[in-house]
């Protein structure tokens, strides 16, 4: 079976140049339908699919009568506001043919970098996936100023891959994959089928050229690969210039696979254990120690004392009654709220806080045991 066939959670990124006909500025519905047929096929095979789609600016530009090149930032943002409506509607229509529900999610760089927003976005996305909807994500172009913009959806898609712990990222582009040199300028350039590490040699292959309506080029695709591999996912670049582009990858058509060594969950846990400095401490009772050893989440009921100042999403140490640190994790509540619900049953959270938070103080996906 192909690597894509084995994937369980896949993020697919679609570049503007694929969806929007350059000459007319129109959305290519026929092509989109073939792509969505493939998405339905992947889902029928048991995979969950998240879409990251560009195209809002290219679609809105024509409607507002803006030039293709050298539009000002605020003009592009205005174009995105118009084009995003068309884009979301196109996905909604195409997915509905398979009885699938589209969910529009617009993110900025802050949402994937600032811990609180990151957790909120992650919770929303995982809820959508669990409910069977297909998230269709784009950058929130209208609100983002240059400092808080991604500017390219390749890296946004890689951050989303990490955020939802997807095992596979597919970047559909106008080329079959990474070539030894830019295929536009070098007729001898050859497709690289597999990349195991992003070395200086690989970096040298990516030039800076950019297609007519896109903004990325190969450089941002390599940056995306670095993020995806760091999150334990594999990444493919393949052409979307064909009907049924995902089926083509499933049938081992031309592509470049960037192959990582870890698994998404293992990488995430390594990040929690190693890269983050705990800012608070949760003392837990013996029952909680036992539950954590069995791989369960930490519930408020098992927390007996709290120290330090932390906000939702911060890293905390979890200490056994003996004072030994047994785990680390991302806490789901601010210190003040954590204190109010400590020692209480999860069913009481809503009555105590006045709003319904998570049942867990630290969810098991956000928790790593640090003693053997």
Ligand X SMILES: Nc1ncnc2c1ncn2[C@@H]1O[C@H](COP(=O)(O)OP(=O)(O)O)[C@@H](O)[C@H]1O
**CA 324 – CA 164 distance, rounded (Å):** 31
Q: Is 132 annotated as a binding residue?
A: no
**CA 137 – CA 80 distance, rounded (Å):** 13
Q: Does 175 bind ligand X (CB under 6 A)?
A: yes
Picked from ligand VHF, ligand X, none, the partner binding residue 339 (CB below 5 to 8 A depending on kind) is: none
Task: List the one residue from 6, 74, 113, 184 that touches ligand X (CB under 6 A).
Answer: 184
Picked from ligand X, ligand VHF, none, the partner binding residue 313 (CB below 5 to 8 A depending on kind) is: none
Q: Does 52 bind ligand X (CB under 6 A)?
A: no
Q: For residues 75 and 34, is the Cβ–Cβ distance under 8 A? A: no
**CA 163 – CA 242 distance, rounded (Å):** 29
**CA 281 – CA 358 distance, rounded (Å):** 19
Q: Which of residues 117-156 bind ligand X (CB under 6 A)?
A: 154
Task: List the one residue from 4, 9, 16, 249 that touches ligand X (CB under 6 A).
Answer: 16
Task: List the one residue from 114, 174, 334, 365 that touches ligand X (CB under 6 A).
Answer: 174
Residue 158: C-alpha distances to residues 42, 153, 201, 236, 266 (Å): 20, 8, 22, 11, 17
Query: At a CB cut-off of 8 Å and minimum separation 6, what does 319 contact?
Result: 281, 282, 283, 284, 325, 326
CB closer to ligand X, 90 vs 171: 171
Region binding ligand X by CB under 6 A among candidate stretches 13-21, 35-43, 132-140, 156-164: 13-21
Q: For residues 19 and 27, is the Cβ–Cβ distance under 8 A? A: yes
Q: Which of residues 316-335 bind ligand X (CB under 6 A)?
A: none
Picked from ligand VHF, ligand X, none, the partner binding residue 310 (CB below 5 to 8 A depending on kind) is: none
Q: Is 217 annotated as a binding residue?
A: yes
What does the binding site for ligand VHF look like in residue numbers (CB under 6 A)? Answer: 15-17, 54-58, 80, 138-139, 141, 152-153, 214-216
CB closer to ligand VHF, 17 vs 178: 17
Region binding ligand X by CB under 6 A among candidate stretches 83-91, 92-100, 176-184, 322-330: 176-184
Instruction: Give the per-residue SS3 of 276-288.
Output: CCCCEEEEECHHH
Picked from ligand X, ligand VHF, none, the partner binding residue 181 (CB below 5 to 8 A depending on kind) is: ligand X
For 359, the token pair is 């049942």
Q: Does 181 bind ligand X (CB under 6 A)?
A: yes
Where would I find the H helices in the chain? 3-6, 16-19, 29-44, 56-64, 73-96, 109-113, 115-130, 153-163, 200-205, 217-230, 245-250, 264-270, 286-293, 335-341, 349-353
Q: Is 173 annotated as a binding residue?
A: yes
Picked from ligand VHF, ligand X, none, the partner binding residue 286 (CB below 5 to 8 A depending on kind) is: none
Q: Are strands 168-173 and 134-139 parallel, antiparallel or unpaired?
A: unpaired
Q: Is 263 annotated as a binding residue?
A: no
**CA 77 – CA 254 distance, rounded (Å):** 35
Phi-psi region of 199 (alpha: psi -120 to 50; beta: other; left: phi over 0): beta
Region binding ligand X by CB under 6 A among candidate stretches 26-34, 35-43, 182-190, 294-302: 182-190
Query: At a CB cut-off of 8 Å and minimum separation 6, what does 259 contact?
Result: 194, 195, 196, 229, 234
Picked from ligand VHF, ligand X, none, the partner binding residue 141 (CB below 5 to 8 A depending on kind) is: ligand VHF
- Edge-first strand order for the sheet with 102-107 is 102-107, 134-139, 48-53, 9-14, 168-173, 234-239, 256-258, 194-195
Q: Does 83 bind ligand X (CB under 6 A)?
A: no
Q: Closest separation between CB of residue 142 and ligand X, Å?
A: 20
CB closer to ligand X, 186 vs 325: 186
Task: List the one residue from 217, 245, 300, 302 that touches ligand X (CB under 6 A).
Answer: 217
Q: Is 322 annotated as a binding residue?
A: no
Q: For residues 48 and 9, is the Cβ–Cβ distance under 8 A? A: yes
Known binding residues: 13, 54, 141, 153, 173-174, 215-221
Q: Which residues here bind ligand X, judged by CB under 6 A?
A: 15-17, 154, 173-175, 178-179, 181-184, 205-207, 209-211, 214, 216-218
Q: Would you list which residues are annotated within the binding site for substrate?
A: 54, 141, 153
């Amino acid at each position: 079976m192909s690597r894509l066939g084995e994937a369980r959670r896949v993020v697919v990124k679609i570049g503007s140049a694929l969806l929007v006909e350059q000459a007319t500025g129109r959305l290519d519905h026929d092509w989109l339908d073939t792509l969505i047929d493939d998405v339905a096929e992947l889902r029928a095979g048991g995979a969950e699919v998240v879409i990251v789609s560009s195209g809002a600016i290219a679609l809105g530009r024509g409607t507002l009568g803006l030039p293709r090149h050298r539009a000002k930032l605020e003009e592009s943002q205005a174009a995105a506001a118009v084009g995003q409506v068309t884009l979301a509607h196109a996905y909604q229509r195409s997915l509905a043919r398979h009885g699938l529900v589209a969910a529009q999610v617009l993110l900025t760089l802050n949402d994937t970098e600032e811990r609180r927003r990151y957790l909120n976005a992650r919770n929303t996305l995982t809820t959508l996936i669990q409910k069977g909807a297909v998230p269709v994500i784009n950058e929130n172009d209208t609100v983002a100023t240059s400092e808080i913009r991604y500017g390219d959806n390749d890296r946004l898609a890689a951050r989303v891959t990490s955020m939802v712990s997807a095992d596979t990222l597919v970047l559909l582009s106008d080329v079959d994959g990474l070539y030894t040199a830019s295929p536009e300028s070098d007729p001898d350039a050859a497709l690289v089928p597999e990349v195991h590490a992003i070395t200086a040699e690989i970096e040298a292959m990516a030039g800076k050229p950019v297609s007519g309506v896109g903004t990325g080029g190969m450089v941002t695709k390599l940056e995306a690969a670095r993020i995806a591999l760091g999150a334990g996912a594999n990444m493919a670049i393949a052409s979307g210039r064909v009907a049924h582009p995902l089926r083509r990858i499933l049938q081992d058509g031309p592509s470049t696979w960037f192959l990582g060594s870890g698994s998404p969950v293992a990488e995430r846990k390594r990040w929690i254990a190693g890269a983050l400095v705990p800012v608070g401490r949760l003392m837990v009772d013996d029952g909680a120690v036992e539950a954590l050893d069995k791989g369960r989440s930490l519930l408020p009921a098992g927390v007996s004392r709290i120290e330090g100042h932390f906000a939702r999403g911060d890293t905390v140490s979890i200490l056994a009654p003996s004072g030994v640190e047994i785990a680390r994790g991302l806490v789901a509540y601010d210190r003040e709220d954590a204190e109010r619900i400590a020692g209480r049953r999860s069913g009481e959270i809503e009555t105590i806080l006045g709003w319904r938070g998570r049942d867990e103080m630290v969810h098991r996906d956000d928790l790593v045991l640090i003693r053997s």
